[in-house]
Amino acid sequence: MTQSERFDALVLGSGQGGKLLAWHLARSGQRVAVVERRWVGGSCPAVACLPSKNEMWSARVAHLAQHAGQFGTITGPVATDMAKVRQRKRDMVEREIAFHLNAYKTSGAELIMGSGRLVAAKTVEVQLNDGGTRLLAADRVFLNLGSHALIPAVPGLEAAGPLTHIEALELDRLPAHLVVLGGGYVGLEMAQAYRRFGSQVTVIESGPQLMSREDPDVAQEMHRILSGEGIRFLVGAEALAVRGRSGQEVAVTVRTAAGEETITGSDILVAAGRVPNTAGIGLEEAGIRLDGRGFIAVNDRLETSAAGVWAMGECAGSPQFTHVSVDDFRIIRDNLAGGRRSTGDRLVPYCVFTDPPLARVGLNEREAQRQGIATRVARLPMAAVLRTEATDETDGFMKVLVAGDDDRILGFTAIGSEAGEIMAAVQTAMLADLPYPRLRDAVIAHLTMAEGLGPLLGNVPPRAA
């Protein structure tokens, strides 16, 4: 074997946590290399969070323009220029690339563009994108490999050349009829965006409700709101076969409780979950154990089964959010400095950026019941929050779970305008173990959406005597 180049730390995959760790270690004087095969900065700024939210914002503008008359603004006919939508997104991605390249330069971490593969313990061979190979070895290796879209094993689906979020966010044309396979995060966000741009949209969800993690009342409210925009949903629907080519014509045969039906669309988007990028890169050969679903097995300190090798983000089975990958970085950073931080005790919030968004932190009713935790539940329709009198954003509701036997807030879900921002206030109270009456009785600025927290918490039933 050729002589390897030595580093103090090697990060394979420039995911959200990995790049931060690389910059941190390099700034503290270590010799650090990051191997990335495709996206400077990983998927979040290139093909996932930021690009999707960028195009969804364009879709929101289209929606507002279409409904401008309701607010007294006179417009002419409204149409979407998808080439312009894409260019605005591409310009943002270019700014992100420039930011990341500058961070590599100023930190001193070396970014190596190529595909990495473990060839021995803590040793990575890189097929460089520009040709040739490099052999890198390090005292510590950090895996931040991310995931890719699952293509479900539906006959004809793969041959149809389906869009994933990556291709969908690169379209410069409007699909006449977009069929979306999966009613989770990606499916709902993209379905609403394309509906607002002007496509006909059908969502096929195999589970009994949209957004399987959420309480049925939350899923139903999302279903109702998006149906109201003209999206058709088939829930509890098994896709049996796909014929044709995405981009031309696709026919999807589905079975529901009502019988079999064939939906004919112009394009099909898969949004059916994720597969970790862990296959065929020598992980197990290098002593790094995978779990039954292909995720890297880690302990609560993100250490793998191989000494001196950590994993973070989606490939380590962490919840699939950028802020979690970033927190994985903070855990590893602090533990390298002698700390004892764990992934076990963290509170993970999230937000689905439909309009209105869905936000949740902590337990929902179904989870509390499953875990046998007694709770007191309070609800407030968004229409009861005074701000919505001004904005007409009356859809949705908030729901809070308070402990049955003390005043701790155990969970909060909101579907409605500014849900993510309201959630952050509740999360802060939860982190501080603030008894709910303190937040209920706080003076919150009028006319914010968070003002609704007072009446919401005012609806918490008294403790059982």
**Does 267 engage in binding with ligand NAD (CB under 6 A)?**
no
Q: Name which of 126 and 179 has its Cβ closer to ligand NAD.
A: 179
**Does 183 engage in binding with ligand NAD (CB under 6 A)?**
yes
Give which of 58, 40, 52, 160 is closest to 100, Cα–Cα. 40
Q: Name which of 125 and 395 has its Cβ closer to ligand FAD.
A: 125
Contacts with ligand FAD by CB under 6 A lie at 12-17, 35-39, 42-44, 48-49, 52-53, 115-116, 144-146, 165, 186, 277, 281, 313-315, 320-323, 325, 353
Distance between CA atoms of residues 66 and 62, nearest Å: 6
- Examine residue 447 and say whether the peptide bond preceding it is cis (omega within 30 degrees of 0): yes
Would residue 150 be called left, alpha or beta, if left means φ above 0 and alpha means ψ between -120 and 50 degrees? beta
- Residue whose C-beta lies closest to ligand NAD: 184
Choose from ligand NAD, ligand FAD, none: what does 272 bind? Cβ within 5-8 Å by kind.
ligand NAD
**Does 194 engage in binding with ligand NAD (CB under 6 A)?**
no
Tokens of 331: 């855990």
Choose from ligand FAD, ligand NAD, none: what does 14 bind? Cβ within 5-8 Å by kind.
ligand FAD
**Does 204 engage in binding with ligand NAD (CB under 6 A)?**
yes
Q: Name which of 15 and 187 has its Cβ closer to ligand NAD.
A: 187
Give which of 185, 217, 234 is closest to 48, Cα–Cα. 185
* Residues contacting residue 274 through CB under 8 Å, at least 6 positions apart: 147, 148, 149, 150, 314, 320
Residue from 10, 179, 186, 191 touching ligand NAD (CB under 6 A): that is 186
Specify burial of residue 348 (Cβ count, 10 A radius: 0-12, 13-18, 19+): middle
Q: Give the distance, in angstroms, between the CA of residue 397 and the centroid of all CA atoms in the same chain.
A: 22
Distance between CA atoms of residues 345 and 357, nearest Å: 26
**Does 330 engage in binding with ligand NAD (CB under 6 A)?**
no
**Does 109 engage in binding with ligand NAD (CB under 6 A)?**
no
**Does 272 engage in binding with ligand NAD (CB under 6 A)?**
yes
> Under rule CB under 6 A, how many of the chain's residues touch ligand NAD?
26
Shortest gap between Cβ of 143 and ligand NAD (angstroms)?
A: 19
**Does 152 engage in binding with ligand NAD (CB under 6 A)?**
yes
Give which of 119, 152, 159, 113 is closest to 135, Cα–Cα. 119
Shortest gap between Cβ of 165 and ligand NAD (angstroms)?
A: 8
Residue 341, amino acid: R
Tokens of 309: 């090798």
Choose from ligand FAD, ligand NAD, none: what does 247 bind? Cβ within 5-8 Å by kind.
none
Interface ranges with ligand NAD (CB under 6 A) = 152, 154, 181-187, 189, 204-207, 212, 239, 271-274, 320-321, 350-353
